Amino acid sequence: MAWLYGSAEAAALSEQAYNGMVRYVRDVLDHARDRRGRLPSQRKAGTLPRWPASAVLAPGATAAMADTLPCGNLPPAVVLDMDETAVLNLGYEYDDAQTARGFDQKRWERWEKAGATKVAAVPGAVAAFRALRAMGVTMVINTNRSAANADQTAQALKNAGLGDFRHGETLFLKGDVDGKSGKDGRRVAIAQKYCVLALAGDQLGDFADLFNPPGPAPAIGRRMLTAVGPIEARWGNGWFVLPNPVYGTGLGTGWDETFPADKRWTDAP
């Protein structure tokens, strides 16, 4: 917690991710403009140049066959997770650090309802949201916060300086679209409205549900998936990861997985 919420190194990594995303999206927009400066969403369907494929994987995609959805002439958007991607939950984590309790869903729901004034923007987020909106890009939040707390969630985002969001339009919550906690269904629904140029998150499930198959988290398998050719090429090229060593599926490795037997060294003075 001290590292993520208090260190300059964590802030720099977050700024780096957001700077990279803004630069990437700006390049995509520049390459998609015609000689009159119009984007595909401002021109007749089928004209050149076109959008690249969406950053959203197509239904049924795998790490080895990571096909993405077409964009057509849809308006551009960026889709981001909320917690520890767009906002830092300082109030909740303060309480967590003080009490050292395990995760409690009811406690988290109380936080969603009452913590809207106790959050801060992730370093780099406010400037990136402002810059991307100035380019005509819609910012969409896809979070597993509860739909029952949509108003409070929108208020937390606004309090963090990230602007206005509307449930079902630019704010998608757990259970929306298909009733699931996995985000693929929501991503596909968003991609039917927008050309999603980039995704951002702090957990691999913010990019594709294929990283989180049913059952116990296969830590080593997940790590290997990130380096499969079609997936490896997406990091920093449409997919942008924010640091979060505090909670989540990324903390699933044990001793043997973290330190392979053939790589261990013991000091023998």
pLDDT averaged over the chain? Answer: 94
pLDDT at residue 214 in the model: 74
List of residues 6+ apart from 177 with CB closer than 8 A: 185, 186, 188, 189
pLDDT at residue 97 in the model: 92
Q: Where do the domains of the chain lie, and which CATH numbers do they carry?
A: 2-37+51-246 (3.40.50.1000)
- Enter the tokens of residue 137: 């890009």
Chain position carrying tokens 């300059």:
8
- Enter the tokens of residue 162: 């990230």
For 87, half-sphere exposure in the C-beta direction (CA atoms, 13 angstrom radius) is: 29
The predicted-structure confidence for 137-170, as pLDDT tens digits, reads as follows 999 999 999 999 999 999 999 999 999 999 999 9
pLDDT at residue 219 in the model: 64
Q: What is the dihedral of CA 215, 218, 219, 222, to 10 degrees?
A: -110
- Using DSSP's 3-state secondary structure scheme, residue 199 falls into strand
For 139, half-sphere exposure in the C-beta direction (CA atoms, 13 angstrom radius) is: 25
Query: Rounded to two decimals, what is the model's pTM?
Result: 0.95
